[in-house]
Amino acid sequence: MIASGVIDQEKFESLYAARGGMTPEMSALLTGSNNGALTITRENSGFLLNLLWGLGIGNENTILTEGPMNSEAFGNDPSRFASTGGWSLSVGNPMDHYSAHRFVTLTPEQQELVERVAKGIYRPCCGNSTLFPDCNHGMAMLGLLELMASQGLSEQEMYDAALSVNAYWFQETYLTIATFFESQGTPWETVPAQVALSAEYSSSSGYKQLVQKTAPVQAPSGGGGCGV
């Protein structure tokens, strides 16, 4: 992504220098290749959020060019959203890279899988699914889904991974959701990822309704807000 300009290496490294610097693992993920399987932790969740955001915005996909991001309802102008206008770590205008690079090539079946799973994954910072990636978390999740589909993961594996990632990016939210299910007699580990990630629990409106029934659980900061 550095070679294409989706990520400006100097900008990216400067951002993290101000946050205490990058670990060797972070540097390898940013500049290396063949890094093996991604492992997300509380410590690197914010870094991976930005890295996957770059992948999501830059990778060529009809979700970006033919989906809600580029619909008449929003003036056919995808530059107006936080996930595009807020991407300040590229070389030049971020829209020069919007769906412009073939980082991950999907078969028609894999593309269909990404679209199907994206429709079912919501995020508590807004009311949209990953099919409408108008913020950084949505765009990063799109990048992750593309990556997983290209590597042959099943639909269930993609949902399970997405729930784990969302739980790092929104730690307080998912601790609260887990507490709610436990209070209803349902162990969190038995809740299907499709249910936990649905609009009923993981959208902003769904979560607001849930906290009327369960007090929010305090947690350390995770993946950060809707900006770099």
pLDDT digits (tens, 9 = 90+) for 98-112: 999 999 999 999 999
What percent of the chain has pLDDT above 70? Answer: 97
Domain ranges of the chain: 9-169
Question: What's the average model confidence in pLDDT over 33-38?
Answer: 76
Checking if the pLDDT of 220 tops 70, the result is: no
Cα angle 78, 151, 136; round to 5: 30
Question: What's the average model confidence in pLDDT over 117-123?
Answer: 98
What's the rounded Cα separation, in Å, for the pair 214 and 175? 11
Q: Which pLDDT band holds residue 18 (cuts at 50, 70, 90)?
A: very high
Q: Which pLDDT band holds residue 219 (cuts at 50, 70, 90)?
A: confident
- pLDDT tens digits, residue range 185-205? 999 999 999 999 999 999 999
* Contacts of residue 31, Cβ cutoff 8 Å, sequence gap at least 6: 2, 9
What's the rounded Cα separation, in Å, for the pair 4 and 189? 41
How much is the pLDDT for 104? 97
pTM: 0.95
The beta strands (E) that lie in 16-131 are given as none
